Chains A and B, each alone.
Chain A
């Protein structure tokens, strides 16, 4: 452990920071789904991580169906088309599924005590997990390796591959688009209004059911995007991956202040960077202790999360 500490000084720190930011933006994408749903109906959607897992299997299945599974055997046009197809179909499917689950499972419980839909969400999470196991089997499944891992920053001592570039290249515009949507469109305004005060929003003529449906759709779509990006980045899909990723994303959302959109992004990035630096300087096995230790400390001093103070009525 201490031996390592001495050896990782070269390009080390910047490198781990970079990897951390890439991992963090992945967490952020999933965390947005948690935080948006919580912001509107105060439900911690525990099935969100498993929705992400189902999205990963769908993306994998798409590649199998199209027949583009290796970079070597296919032209770059075919590969680009496959990636685009995945990025189109997966978010769409995840959004529909999320909305459908809300309709069937959560909507009847809208006025029930808060714990009822929470327990239902845990139930949905297990159902999704079993579907995943049935779909892809119990073993890890190899996600097609279509994006090269050549270094784009050769000569600088840093590594930043096409894979890293893709994560940033997809997540950054997605987050910007989301911010623009929530800030400047009528629907976005309605969402913010509902989050602030559902009763008042409804009195002003906002259709709360529609707002909730749109929220679930956007959250699901983001999970779908994250699923595709994560698949290319980590190259493996497994029916259990939803739990771990969901836990991280949920933590990111709480860290940033649950219900707060920029907070989820910030929380995700902090989590990613802290996690990678922890792996590098404390050893892989201690990184989780570090992450959750920091979470506890931050919540002690800022119980509403890093940016959570703005939505005080949410606690």
Chain B
């Protein structure tokens, strides 16, 4: 496809290969790798992230400083698992670090997967930007979780290579508890989680805030579920006996969210009880999985950041362009996929060459970034976004309807 590349390859023959052709051969291709669960039920949400990345690349005409921008869409899920797979995520990380043209690794979607790829990428010094992994421990110490050794275990080289454009669960979990107490006037809550790093993590943060004196919600119980079980009817009967004011589920659409909503609806004692789910369920697949009428007016979903319908200025423009281009409403994480690619591409523009270390530094040190669609933000010393917003949406008529934004 590239004439010069073709000529070098044929004329140079073995010589080109021996003389470390890597640097020369792809001299003007810059690859943006992304590793997201593209198979399985998170696909709707990751499609929208990839669309966001593509839109950002297109804005530069696919080229910066003579370097052709190429997006490499990697999948970290398997059909057999139906969701992310640790081995696949590790493979992707290795493939990306081995390819000298890859300058950034966008992803992953799941915090559990981040745990796998982060140490690998850190060692190789490859920049990683996640649009959606929200477990706080990835970037900083979480009180009460010191034993895990986070986040140092991800930073063997001592440098920060991982940053994220989405607010973490350290904001989402506690602010959800505040919302539950203040707005829904709940006095008691029952907590469920899916045992995963993300789900159990956010449920724990939520629980801690509920029990704090300023919120003062009584936690009636906390159980982990097994996502593959056919139903949770018995569990719901037990919860119904405790008569909680609300139920919280820390988990994703893939790890049991819809089934919990369905079984609550069928349990007479819980059919009007509010259910609150975090951003792992903030996607259309959650609504189609549980059925719009199952969720109507009773189920709340939270997301760190804003719902696409709330974006203003450049954000609103983005939503409009997205709709024109893909003939679909963007899902919640579209803007974060876009923002992750955008902050990187701006750094490429500044640095002007393919240098992993310089690009890493340029991105991690981003302050007061305004070129994107989320408003003005930057990365703090840990690599977390300074954006601290939580949106709570009520699911009504099959749509996420923002009812409250907390900062």
Which residues of A are in contact with B by a Cβ distance under 8 Å? 1, 3-4, 7-8, 10, 15-16, 19, 23, 70, 72, 129-130, 133, 137-142, 145, 149, 151, 159, 161, 163, 230, 233-236, 239-241, 244-245, 276, 279-280, 283-285, 287-288
Question: Contact check: which of B44, B231, B285 meets A234 at CB < 8 Å?
Answer: B231
- Interfacial chain B residues near A236, Cβ < 8 Å: 258-259, 262, 289-290
Stretch at the interface among B134-142, B207-215, B232-240: B232-240
Residue B266 CB within 8 A of the other chain: yes
The CA of A112 and the CA of B39, in the complex, are separated in Å by 36
Report the tally of A-B residue pairs with Cβ distances under 8 A. 110
Chain A, Cβ-Cβ closest to B271 = A149
Question: Contact check: which of B41, B228, B259 meets A138 at CB < 8 Å?
Answer: B41
The reply to whether B288 and A241 form a contact with Cβ atoms under 8 Å apart is: no
Residue B225 CB within 8 A of the other chain: yes
- Interfacial chain B residues near A151, Cβ < 8 Å: 268
The reply to whether B41 and A19 form a contact with Cβ atoms under 8 Å apart is: no
The CA of A140 and the CA of B41, in the complex, are separated in Å by 7
Q: A3-B221, A138-B39 are in contact. Are A129 and B79 (CB under 8 A)?
A: yes
The reply to whether A234 and B259 form a contact with Cβ atoms under 8 Å apart is: yes
The CA of A216 and the CA of B233, in the complex, are separated in Å by 32
- Interfacial chain B residues near A129, Cβ < 8 Å: 79
The reply to whether A244 and B291 form a contact with Cβ atoms under 8 Å apart is: no
Q: A130-B79, A159-B268 are in contact. Are A244 and B233 (CB under 8 A)?
A: no
The CA of A285 and the CA of B235, in the complex, are separated in Å by 11
The CA of A183 and the CA of B259, in the complex, are separated in Å by 40
The CA of A32 and the CA of B231, in the complex, are separated in Å by 22
- Interfacial chain B residues near A15, Cβ < 8 Å: 237
Residue B82 CB within 8 A of the other chain: yes
Can you report 12 A-B residue pairs in the complex whose CB atoms are below 8 A from each other?
A1-B223, A7-B241, A8-B238, A72-B293, A142-B288, A235-B291, A240-B82, A244-B228, A279-B235, A284-B232, A287-B226, A288-B226
The reply to whether A4 and B41 form a contact with Cβ atoms under 8 Å apart is: no
The reply to whether B41 and A285 form a contact with Cβ atoms under 8 Å apart is: no
- Interfacial chain A residues near B288, Cβ < 8 Å: 139-142
- Interfacial chain A residues near B232, Cβ < 8 Å: 284
The reply to whether B238 and A280 form a contact with Cβ atoms under 8 Å apart is: yes
Nearest-Cβ distance from residue A224 to partner chain B, whole angstroms: 17
- Interfacial chain B residues near A159, Cβ < 8 Å: 237, 268
Q: A142-B288, A145-B291 are in contact. Are A7 and B195 (CB under 8 A)?
A: no
Chain B, Cβ-Cβ closest to A237 = B289
- Interfacial chain B residues near A16, Cβ < 8 Å: 234, 237
Q: A138-B39, A138-B41, A141-B289 are in contact. Are A7 and B238 (CB under 8 A)?
A: yes
Most buried by A among B44, B234, B268: B234
The reply to whether B289 and A244 form a contact with Cβ atoms under 8 Å apart is: no
The CA of A139 and the CA of B77, in the complex, are separated in Å by 13
Chain B, Cβ-Cβ closest to A133 = B79
Q: A19-B233, A140-B258 are in contact. Are A7 and B242 (CB under 8 A)?
A: yes
The reply to whether B289 and A139 form a contact with Cβ atoms under 8 Å apart is: yes
- Scoring B residues 226 to 268 as 1 if CB is less than 8 Å from chain A, else 0, what string do you get? 1011111111011001100000000001000011001001101
- Scoring B residues 42 to 83 as 1 if CB is less than 8 Å from chain A, else 0, what string do you get? 011000000000000000000000000000000000010010
Q: A138-B39, A140-B289 are in contact. Are A19 and B224 (CB under 8 A)?
A: no
- Interfacial chain B residues near A7, Cβ < 8 Å: 238, 241-242
The CA of A4 and the CA of B235, in the complex, are separated in Å by 11
Q: A240-B82, A244-B228 are in contact. Are A235 and B268 (CB under 8 A)?
A: no
The CA of A129 and the CA of B268, in the complex, are separated in Å by 34
- Interfacial chain A residues near B285, Cβ < 8 Å: 139-140
The reply to whether B230 and A284 form a contact with Cβ atoms under 8 Å apart is: no
The reply to whether B289 and A142 form a contact with Cβ atoms under 8 Å apart is: yes
The CA of A15 and the CA of B238, in the complex, are separated in Å by 10
Question: Contact check: which of B43, B234, B262 meets A279 at CB < 8 Å?
Answer: B234
Residues of chain B in range 276-301 having any CB-CB distance to chain A below 8 Å? 285, 288-291, 293-294
